[in-house]
């Protein structure tokens, strides 16, 4: 197997949804999951939490990659927010049922933060995208049947709009790829504009 090109993007995530979205855009990349703790800090706002995790994931992988050759590392984090409370991935089926029961018939916000880091300089560009999603009124037995498929167990908010979870959704306002796990339009713009002045840390 040939080594990746120097300008090949590193995706700091094992998410198959993010890989599929990048593949769809014809972007060459390799996968190097960050495997960092994902714990919200006390008093930390939801968007700040997602942005911090995206940066920490990308920086962790950039540091492991090393400064030479300089590689671009993309980190991302997706959360579901209801009444200011962050819903991450469910711990187990019972937790997934509890999450979906709270979301049913209501509107929530899906936030995905993305960060692009240079492994050579650790210069970081980041942004976040929010999408409003309204769930239809779903009967308890339908929620249990959906959770039994196993699909919700590794998804923020315990559902996937690109899968069977789409049946639970009444409407989406904003980026649909953001809800899947990677806002494609914003990611492409960040990749294209990375050498221009912008947000950095």
Q: Supply the residues annotated as catalytic.
A: 77
Helix (H, G, I), strand (E, B) or coil at 33: coil
What are the tokens at 194? 């990375």
What are the tokens at 89? 């991935």
Backbone phi, psi, residue 150, to 5°: 90, -15
**177: Cβ–Cβ under 8 A, 6 or more apart, which residues?**
21, 183, 184, 185
> Residue 194 in contact with residue 119, Cβ under 8 Å?
no
Residue linked to tokens 């953001």: 178
Q: At what angle do helices 140-148 and 93-103 cross, to 10 degrees?
A: 140
- Residue 162's Cβ-side half-sphere holds a number of Cα atoms within 13 Å equal to 14
């Amino acid at each position: 197997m040939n080594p990746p090109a120097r300008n090949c993007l590193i995706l700091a995530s094992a998410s198959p949804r993010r890989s599929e979205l990048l593949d769809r855009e014809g972007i060459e990349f390799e996968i190097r999951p960050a495997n960092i703790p994902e714990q919200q800090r006390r008093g930390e706002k939801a968007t700040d939490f997602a942005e911090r995790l995206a940066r920490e994931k990308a920086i962790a992988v950039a540091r492991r990659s090393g400064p030479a050759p300089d590689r671009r590392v993309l980190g991302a984090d997706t959360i579901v927010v209801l009444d200011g409370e962050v819903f991450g991935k469910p711990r187990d089926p019972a937790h997934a049922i509890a999450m979906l029961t709270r979301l049913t018939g209501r509107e929530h916000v899906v936030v995905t933060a993305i960060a692009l880091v240079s492994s050579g300089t650790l210069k970081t560009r980041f942004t976040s995208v929010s999408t409003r999603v309204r769930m239809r009124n779903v009967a308890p037995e339908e929620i249990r049947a959906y959770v039994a498929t196993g699909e919700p167990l590794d998804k923020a908010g315990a559902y996937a709009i690109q899968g069977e979870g789409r049946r639970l959704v009444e409407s989406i306002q904003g980026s649909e790829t953001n809800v899947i796990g990677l806002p494609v339009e914003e990611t492409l713009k960040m990749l294209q504009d990375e050498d221009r002045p912008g947000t950095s840390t």
